[in-house]
Structure 1
Amino acid sequence: MKKDLEILISKYLRHELEAAEQEELEVLLEHPENLQEFNSQVELEFLLQKDKKEFHAVQGYSKIEKNLGSEKSLNWKIWLKYAAILVLLMAMTFFLNEQTTVTAIPETNVVYIEEGNGNIKILEMEGEKQITNKKGEVIATKIANKIIYKELPEATELEYNTITVPYGSLFQIVLSDGTEVELNAGTEFSYPVQFINGEDRQVFLKGEGFFKVSTDSLHPFKVNTGDFHISVLGTQFNISAYEDDQISSAVLTEGSIMLNNKNFFQLLHPGEMASITNSEAAITVEKVNIRKHIAWKEGIVIFQNETFEKITKTLERTYNVKIENKVPELKQEVFTATFVDEDIEQILALFSKSRPFKYKINAGKVTIEKK
C-alpha cells in the first residue's frame, strides 16, 4: 500500500496521473497517515523546485489557510487542489530558469497572488470578493476574473503584488490609477497596490498583456520586461514577453510609446510593432495587422505564417496542455489559421488534415507522432 501511495504521489507531482489514479489517490488520502505523507512530499517538492530561494511549504500553506477564511483547517481535497497549483507554479519558475519545458498548470479557475510581505493569496475566478490590506481597509474588489483597485491618495508606501495567471485563463486588473491591464495565459505581472505621488508608475511583466494606460503627465507609466522598457504617459498597447520565447514584441494601437532596449531607443506609432530578439540590442519595427496581436483578449487565436513549433507554444498556454511533438520535420512547417471557439482536439484534427500526423490527448498531455 505504501509503495502504491509513493508511486501515485510521484506521478501527481509530475502531472501524470490518469483519471483512475486520481480517484485512487483521493481514496488513499482519506487516511490521516497517508495525508501526512502526501503533505511531506509536497513540502519537499516546494524546496526542490524553489532551489535556494527562501520559501517554505509549511509557511506557504499557513498563509493560504489564513487568507481563505477563518476556518482552522481545510479538507484534504481543497489542499490537494491548492498544493497542485503552488507546486506547479514553483515548477514553472524553476523550469523557466533552467530553460526546459514548462509543465502546464492544471487548475485554471484560480489566480495566485504573492503580496509584498510574502503572503500568498489564491483567488477563485468565479464570484465576488473584497480584498483588504494589513489595516483591514478595502483596497480592491474582485469580480469574476477581474480585480479593481481603489485609489488611496494618502498612501505613502510603495508595495508590489505579483499575480500569476495560469495556463488556459485570462485575467484583468484595473490599477489604482485607473490603468486597465488584460493578462494572457501563463503571465506573471508585478504592480504597485497604490501608486505614490511624485514617483513614476512602474510595473513588471513576464508574459503577455494589453495595457490601456490612464493619462497622467506628471507620472510616466513604465513597463519593464526582461528584454526592454516602455515609457508612456497615456496610451494603448500590447506587449508579448514570455521568457521562453526567442522574440519579444510591443504593438501600439493608440498614442505613442518609447522603447528602450540596452540604451537603444525607438519611438513607436499606432499600427507598428517593435520586435526584439533575446540578447540583442537592435529593435526591428514594422507595420502589422493589430487585430492579430490583440485577438487573444477575446479568446480568439490567430496564426499567420507561423511555424508549428511556435504554434504549439501558444496552444500550450491557451489550452492548458503540454505538447510533445515526436515529428521533428513538423516543427518548421508554416501555417495560417484562425480559431474562435474550437477546443484543442478540434484544432489538432484540423492541423493533422493539412500535414498528416496522429495525436493522443491524455490527462492534459498531447503527444504528436508520425501517421
Structure 2
Amino acid sequence: MTEERFLLLLELLKNNQLSQESWEELRNAISENNYDHLLEEDFFHLLSDGNKNKTNSWTPEIEQQMWKEILNRRKLQPVAAVRVKQLFPWLRTVAAAVLLLVITTGGWLYFKWRNTDAGLSPVKMAHIISGSNSVILTLGNGSKINLDSVANGTVFVQGDVKIVKSANGRLLYEITGTNNMREVYNNIETLKGGQCEVVLSDGSAIRLNSASSMHFPTAFTGKRNRLVALSGEGYFEVAKSKDQPFMVSAGKVTVEVLGTSFNVNAYADEATIKTTLMQGAVKVFYGTSGKLIKPGQQASLSAGENDLKITTANMNEVLAWKEGKFRFDGAGIGTIMRQIARWYDVKVKYEGNIPQNKFYGMLPRKSNVNQLLEILEETGNVHFRTAGDTIIVMPGRKTK
C-alpha cells in the first residue's frame, strides 16, 4: 500500500465513511508497522494545534468513544500488557485525538489524557507548567536585555551592526556599514522553559533549546572563520561561505562546516556531547582529531572517552524539541528527568533504588508535567511525589 492510499483510508475512517472491506485493508496496513510515522504526525497535529486550529477531521463522537474505550482498558489490565494488535479491533471506533503516543514493552499504545476526567488520579503537580520563555541578551558592554520586555523593532546598535527583534520573535543581526566595525561579542541565553531564534550577521540561523546559551561576534568581517560557542542545545542552519568556515565550540568538541544544517547537544549535565547532521557535511573535532559525518549520522563524545563515536542518528528523537515535542526512544529515567528539569524549571531528587528501564513515548512540550509523570507511573517502574518545585523520583510498584 502506498502512503497516499494509507492516508486516504485514514481520512475515511476519521469521517465515519470507511467500508468494512476498506477497514480490513487499513487494519492490515497498520499491523505491518510501516505507517507508524504517518499515524504519529496525524495525531500530533491535532494535539499541537488544539481545537481552535484543528487540522484533522476526527469527529467529537469518535473522540469521545475513544476516551471511553481507553478508560475501560485501563481498568481491565496494566498498560504494559496491552499490545498493539489487541487495539486494532476497537481502533475503528476510536479517534487519534491523543495527547501521548507511548511505546510500552508490549508495543505502541495511544492515549488521550484529560485533566477533567474524574477517573484519573493525577500526580498533584497542577501548578507546574513549562518554565519561563525569557531570553536574556548580553551586549558587548555587559548590559543585559530581557527580550520579552522589548517591543518589535531595533533593540540596540553596536557600531555598524543593529539588532532587530522581528515580528515573529526572531533576533536579527544586520550590518549597516563598514566604517565602525569593531570586534564586539554578544551572549544570548534561554532560561528554563524558553527557546529563541537568532539570525547572525552572515545569515546563519540558530535556534536555541531551553537552558542554553551562545557566545558570538556581532559581525564576522575580517575573520578567518565564523566561530561561536554553545552551551546546551542548538539547531544550526549555516549560510555558505567557502572563505569562512563556520565553527561551533561545544564543550570538548568543535564542529566545522561550510554550509549545512545540524544539531548540537552539549548540556553540561549530560554525559555525552552529540552532533547530528541533517544535510551537507561537517567535521567534528576532539582535540586535533577530526571525523567527517554524513547526513543522518551522529558524532558523540562521552565523558571519560578520548574518541568520537559515529552512529546512525534517530532523527525524530533528536529534532523533537525543535518541533515542540518530548520524544523518548529507549531513554532512561535520568535522561527524561533532566529534560523535564530544563523545560519546567524544577529540581529533581532520587530516593531508593530506581530501576534502569528504558522508556518510549511522545508528548507535546506545552503539556502540564502531570501528564508526563502519570504516564511514566503507569509503567509501574517509577513513582513520583513533590515538595515545592522539586520532583522526587522513587521505585514504582513493580520494583517493590
TM-score, scaled relative to structure 1: 0.67
Instruction: Give the C-alpha shift of residue 149 in structure 1.
Output: 1.3
Instruction: Give the C-alpha shift of residue 291 in structure 1.
Output: 1.9
Change (3 A) 1:357 1:276: closer
1:197 aligns with 2:218: no
1:122 aligns with 2:146: yes
For the 8 Å contact 2:206–2:237, the answer to whether it is kept is: yes
Question: Matched residues in 2 for 1:217 and 1:354: separation?
Answer: 52
Question: Matched residues in 1 for 2:359 and 2:246: separation?
Answer: 37
1:326 aligns with 2:347: no
Change (3 A) 1:260 1:356: closer
Matched residues, number: 267
Change (3 A) 1:153 1:180: same
1:139 — aligned with what? 163
Q: Which residues of 2 match residues 44-123 of structure 1 at below 5 A?
A: 108-123=132-147
SS at match of 1:260: strand
1:150 aligns with 2:174: yes
Counterpart selection for 2:342 from 317, 322, 325: 317
Instruction: Give the C-alpha shift of residue 147 in structure 1.
Output: 0.6
Question: Matched residues in 2 for 1:111 and 1:183: separation?
Answer: 10
Q: Which has the higher contact order (CA 8 A, sep 6+)?
A: 2
SS at match of 1:149: strand
Counterpart selection for 2:315 from 290, 294, 309: 290
Question: Counterpart amino acid of 1:345?
Answer: N
1:215 aligns with 2:240: yes
Counterpart selection for 2:187 from 140, 162, 183: 162
Change (3 A) 1:137 1:250: closer
1:38 — aligned with what? none
For the 8 Å contact 2:151–2:165, the answer to whether it is kept is: no
Aligned-residue CA RMSD (Å): 2.4
1:239 — aligned with what? 264
Change (3 A) 1:286 1:134: closer
Instruction: Give the C-alpha shift of residue 259 in structure 1.
Output: 0.8
After superposing the two structures, state which structure 1 stretch, 109-118 or 287-296, moved more: 109-118
Deviation string for 1:260-305 (max 9, x for gaps)? 1011110010000001013432010011221210120111111111
Task: Specify every segment of 5 or more residues in structure 2 that has no aligned partner in the other structure, as ranges.
Answer: 1-127
Question: Matched residues in 2 for 1:364 and 1:254: separation?
Answer: 40
Instruction: Give the C-alpha shift of residue 219 in structure 1.
Output: 1.0
Question: Counterpart amino acid of 2:306?
Answer: A
1:368 aligns with 2:393: yes
Instruction: Give the C-alpha shift of residue 243 in structure 1.
Output: 1.1
Question: Matched residues in 1 for 2:192 and 2:240: separation?
Answer: 31
TM-score, scaled relative to structure 2: 0.62
Task: Specify every segment of 5 or more residues in structure 1 that has no aligned partner in the other structure, as ranges.
Answer: 1-103
Instruction: Give the C-alpha shift of residue 142 in structure 1.
Output: 4.5
Instruction: Give the C-alpha shift of residue 216 in structure 1.
Output: 0.9
Quick check: which has more Rg, 1 or 2? 2
Question: Counterpart amino acid of 2:284?
Answer: L
1:349 — aligned with what? 374
